[in-house]
Structure 1
Amino acid sequence: MPGIIVPVRRAVPVLALMVAGVMLGACSGGDFGRTRADFRNDDMHKWIGQEATASVGVPPSQFQLTDNERQLRDLAYPLIEAPHSRPAWKSVFGDYQPSASPWRQKVAFDRTAYGRALIDEPHRSHSSRYAQLIDDVRDDITRFEPFFGSAIRVLDLDRKRQASMRYMSDISPREKGDAVARMEENSLIVQWVQISLQQRVASYRWALERLVLQAPDPMAADADRLIGELASQTANPPVVARPVIGQPLTTRG
């Protein structure tokens, strides 16, 4: 009998851990940082365009997203969400959530938020803070070209869509309104990313300045170089999005 009791007692902690794991999985954002399955779908980032248009009073388009438009939104999300400065294990609860557009009057950009989170978070050494900053800036640089490559394709197709509307004899007011709203939406998304990149550069610079002040390190030179590279790309984007109504969309040659 004692031989039976011992394994049962040992099994209790294991069972408790299994139950706790199931409960964490149910209330978290997903498995070990992955977005929860019920959040994942082809149009999971469709809200970006809807938020952009709603924030400036433009009616939403009822058109379905094209593959290119869907990709634009997917690539925009990592650039408009707040940059993270915390260990990966803290993402186990998931933090995917819609963000307010920069045109919301109540939204106030705080360029110190990223740096304060980076510095206040317990680290084994100040070098890990520099490494995290460098990784975050490098990630944005890596995302820059794919996003703007997608933006060029979408805005170019929108120009063609706008031109073709002049030759359509039986286009209804509703169809025309949905087309214009979608073009405006696409343009606003690109503008949103452009604004977000400017804010990220400001946040990274503030964080680096405070790191240098509190814990000088040769790694600061690498961080400064990468921030300068991101700032240069942000100041000279390959495409400039302007509102469809009143001004044409332009692409830099």
Structure 2
Amino acid sequence: MLGGCATGDFGRTRDSALNDDMHRWVGAEATGSIGRRPSDFQLTDYERTLRDQAYAFIEPPHSRPYWKGVFGDYEPIPAPWRRKVHFDPTFYGRQLIDEPHRSHASRYGQLINDVRNDLTRLDPFFTTAGRVADFDQKRGASLRYITDLEARERADALARMKENALVVQWVGICIQQRVASYRWALERLVIHAPDGLAAEADRLITELAARSAAGLGATPVIGQVLTVKG
């Protein structure tokens, strides 16, 4: 099983206005996977957007049959901190190579499009993550000034702050896994069918690795309990 990283659309419904809280499980799974209780607070607009945008990175590429449609968005994916979660960097590349294509160029094209889609999603995700982190900082600072703050309210506030941070870290792990998957796929494509398109694919993968590292640099990825196969 892939630890949970997605590339993108592939017929998936992304309209959060029509599917409010459809990805709420992302935060609950992130906290539950390390033995913590998720917050009972309702999601803010930014927190909901954060989970919607995170899901685009969390679901593995080519992992969902078309017949499942939007219902797959509600199906929890194990967080990478669960002990039984294994990441296989060859999974994406093997599917890319094994699936029927009109030509080898179309395989390169699929890889390039998948990486470009990830690059397109980075900045919106980083913007939302930054806003959520800023509001959480204000939330934490305000706790000492709240009149008659109940213990459960304080616990829920702290749990939501931790939950939001874990969602961002989960995406960070997923992007690292994606880069590994894309590189493995590109290396195999070069062996199977050398083409000048390989240079463009390599450039984009390098850009994805660099931009994600820069954007997530302030939020270290907590212990990655990952077993890499292959």
TM normalised by structure 1 equals 0.77
Structure 1 residue 180, shift from structure 2 partner = 0.4
Kindly report which structure 2 residues correspond to 1:216-235, keeping only aligned pairs within 5 A, or say none: 216-235=194-213
| Structure 1 position 187 matched with structure 2 position 162 | no
**Higher Rg:** 1
Q: Is the 8 A contact 2:39 2:159 kept in 1?
A: yes
| Structure 1 position 81 matched with structure 2 position 59 | yes
Structure 1: which 5+ runs fail to align?
1-31, 244-253
**Residues in 2 aligned to 1:126 and 1:81: alpha-carbon distance in whole angstroms:** 26
**Residues in 2 aligned to 1:230 and 1:187: alpha-carbon distance in whole angstroms:** 21
Per-residue CA shift, 1:217-240, capped at 9, x if unaligned? 000011000001001012211563
| Structure 1 position 173 matched with structure 2 position 151 | yes
> Matched residue pairs, number?
207
Structure 2: which 5+ runs fail to align?
1-9, 222-230
**Residues in 1 aligned to 2:204 and 2:11: alpha-carbon distance in whole angstroms:** 27
Q: Is the 8 A contact 2:27 2:167 kept in 1?
A: yes
Which of 85, 89, 92 lines up with 1:114 in the alignment? Answer: 92
**Residues in 2 aligned to 1:34 and 1:201: alpha-carbon distance in whole angstroms:** 22
**Residues in 1 aligned to 2:116 and 2:26: alpha-carbon distance in whole angstroms:** 24
Runs of 4+ more than 4 Å apart: none
The verdict on how the C-alpha distance between 1:85 and 1:161 changes in structure 2, with shifts beyond 3 A counting, is: closer
Which of 132, 140, 143 lines up with 1:162 in the alignment? Answer: 140
**Residues in 1 aligned to 2:164 and 2:90: alpha-carbon distance in whole angstroms:** 30
| Structure 1 position 91 matched with structure 2 position 66 | yes
Partner of 1:205: 183
Give the AA of the match of 2:47: E
**3-state DSSP class of the match of 2:49?**
helix
Q: Is the 8 A contact 1:119 1:129 kept in 2?
A: yes
The verdict on how the C-alpha distance between 1:79 and 1:93 changes in structure 2, with shifts beyond 3 A counting, is: same
Partner of 2:214: 236
**Residues in 1 aligned to 2:173 and 2:216: alpha-carbon distance in whole angstroms:** 15
TM normalised by structure 2 equals 0.84
**Residues in 2 aligned to 1:217 and 1:185: alpha-carbon distance in whole angstroms:** 44
**3-state DSSP class of the match of 2:87?**
coil
**3-state DSSP class of the match of 1:231?**
helix
RMSD: 2.2
**Residues in 2 aligned to 1:227 and 1:174: alpha-carbon distance in whole angstroms:** 45
Q: Is the 8 A contact 1:33 1:93 kept in 2?
A: no
Which of 52, 62, 80 lines up with 2:40 in the alignment? Answer: 62
The verdict on how the C-alpha distance between 1:204 and 1:120 changes in structure 2, with shifts beyond 3 A counting, is: same
Q: Is the 8 A contact 2:190 2:198 kept in 1?
A: yes
**Residues in 2 aligned to 1:140 and 1:84: alpha-carbon distance in whole angstroms:** 14
Greater relative CO, 1 or 2 (CA 8 Å, sep 6+): 2
